[in-house]
Amino acid sequence: MALLEVKDLHTSFFTDAGEVKAVNGVNFNLDHGKVLGIVGESGSGKSVTAYSIMQILAPTGKIVSGSIKLDGQELVGAGEQVMRNVRGNKVSIIFQDPMTSLNPTLTIGHQLMEAILLHTDRTREQAEARAIEMLSLVNVNEPAKRMKQYPHEFSGGMRQRVMIAMALACEPDILIADEPTTALDVTIQAQILELMQKLQREMGMAIIMITHDLGVVAQMCDEIVVMYAGSYCERGTADEIFYNPRHEYTRGLLRSIPTLGSMGQKLHPITGTPIDLLNLPEGCPFAPRCEKAMKICIKHPAESMDINEFHKASCWLNVKDLYEKQQSASVVSAQEGGEA
């Protein structure tokens, strides 16, 4: 049994302007100790998926349907009591912007110890010792002194280290990292990723890495989910997604990365803008921007299709390929039959 199973998750925000369907049927599994990447551009529903798992959506957001199972326990509709025990204990999260994610009027120590005291039986002294231990684990210098300081006395990279220490203090089974490096300098980004990899090796938790940076994904992830406009395009092992992409959006994403090999060549951006989540079209949400869009793409959303054991994709082009293969096969077999 997978550690985390997300099935057909639908999450919407109910605003004055109408229902914003932020997540429309996302599926994935996560096993113990694995790293899953969720990739997509802004507004594709990556973060909302993560917040749905922890049920920390904004007041207007609601899980409309679907199932989220953690260790076999259903979390959708499980109630606050259960969720409080999950949050920070079994599943932790680090956020995109470390500058605003820490309470500016409480000391770092206070904020670190809060979760420890909440989820473990440790005394205050033990919790403090644990917090200091966590701080040194994430390479914060002079942790005992740092405990008494306030967030504004920390740099962005340091704050993200604190966030990581806070998230891992109760040894969660799953760490969700919601674009953990987007707001940081490039050099700091590398340090933070390295730190996360190191901690993952040492502590063995599973990670859900949410990012729009394919480089990060390539470096860290075992499995990848590519999302567009709230629904998933394809998912599979990292190798499959990078070397055998079977969705036009993924292909576009990969084409748009500048590499050393592509120097001097023209980059291929994906043209157009993402669709309006308030008025989702009937067909495939990527169709308006897809160079290879077909008539059926506009009418019907593509269903998920197994490409192979490690790879699923939702693109009509795969159906077309399959169909053409079958047709040519049947032509061949018809010819063979004729000859026979």
Partner 1 sequence: MNSKEVAYIIKRVLFAFVTIWAVITITFFVMHSVPGGPFASEKAVTPAAKAALEEKFGLDKPLFEQYLTYLGGAAHFDFGPSLKQRGREVTTIVADGMKTSAKLGVIALIIATASGVLLGALAALRRNTVADKIIMVITTAFVSMPSFIMGTLFLLLFAIELHVLPANGAAKGGLILPIVTLALYPMAYITRLTRSSMLDVLGQDYIRTAKAKGVSQRNIILKHALKNSLIPVITYLGPELAYITTGSLVVEQIFAVPGIGRAFVNSITGRDYSLIMGTTIILATLIVVMNLVSDILYRVVDPRISLD
Partner 2 sequence: MNKNPLSMQVDMDDFLPASEEEKSYMVQMRASSTFFRDGCKRFYKNKVAFTSLVVIVLIVISAIVLPIVWPYSYDVQLGVQPGKPVDASYNNLAPMEYSRSEQQMMEDGQFVFPHIFGTDASGRDYFIRVVYGTRISLAVGFFASIIVLIVGLTMGSIAGFAGGRVDMAIMRIVDIIYSLPDMLMVILLASVMRASLGSAFEGTVFAKIGSNILSLFIIFALLYWCSMARLIRGQILSLREQEYVLAAQAAGAKAKWIITKHLIPNCISIIIISTALQIPSAIFTESFLSFLGLGVNAPMPSLGSLASDALNGISSYPSRLAIPALAISLIVLGLNLFGDGLRDAFDPKLNN
Q: Which does 293 bind (CB under 5 to 8 A by kind): partner 1, partner 2, none?
A: partner 2
Q: Whose Cβ is closer to partner 2: residue 75's or residue 297's?
A: 297
In this chain, which of 123, 256, 326, 333 binds partner 2, going by CB under 8 A? 326
If DSSP codes are grouped into helix, strand and coil, which group holds residue 83?
helix
Taking the CA of residue 303 as centre, how many other CA atoms within 13 Å lie in the half-sphere pointing to its CB? 3
Smallest distance, partner 2 to C-beta of residue 177, A:
24
Distance separating alpha carbons of residues 228 and 301, to the nearest angstrom? 12
**For partner 1, the closer CB: 168 or 315:** 168
How wide is the angle at C-alpha 174 spanned by C-alphas 170 and 175, nearest 5°? 80
- Residue corresponding to tokens 């260790």: 71
Among 136, 150, 182, 280, indicate the residue that binds partner 1 (CB under 8 A): 150
Selection from partner 2, partner 1, none that 100 binds (CB < 5 to 8 A by kind) is partner 1
Per the CB < 8 A criterion, the answer to whether 9 and 68 are in contact is: yes
Which of 43, 252, 316, 318 is close enough to bind partner 2 by CB under 8 A? Answer: 316
By the rule CB under 8 A, 278 interacts with partner 2: yes
Mark 77-116 as b/e (b = at least 16 C-beta within 10 Å): eeeeeeeeebbbbbbbbbbbbbbebbeeeebbbebbbbbb
Contacts of 317 (CB under 8 A, 6+ apart): 246, 248, 292, 294
3-state DSSP assignment of residue 175: strand
Q: Is residue 288 a contact point for partner 2 (CB under 8 A)?
A: yes
> Does residue 19 bind partner 1 (CB under 8 A)?
no
174 contributes a contact to partner 2 by CB under 8 A: no
- Binding string to partner 2 for residues 8 to 27, with x set by CB under 8 A, is what? --------x-----------
How far the first Cα of the chain sits from its last, in Å, is 50
Which residues make up the interface to partner 1 (CB under 8 A)? 54, 56, 58, 80, 83-89, 92-93, 95, 97, 100-106, 114-115, 118-119, 150, 152, 163, 166
Which residues make up the interface to partner 2 (CB under 8 A)? 16, 275-276, 278-279, 281, 283, 287-288, 290, 292-299, 316, 319-320, 323, 326-327, 330
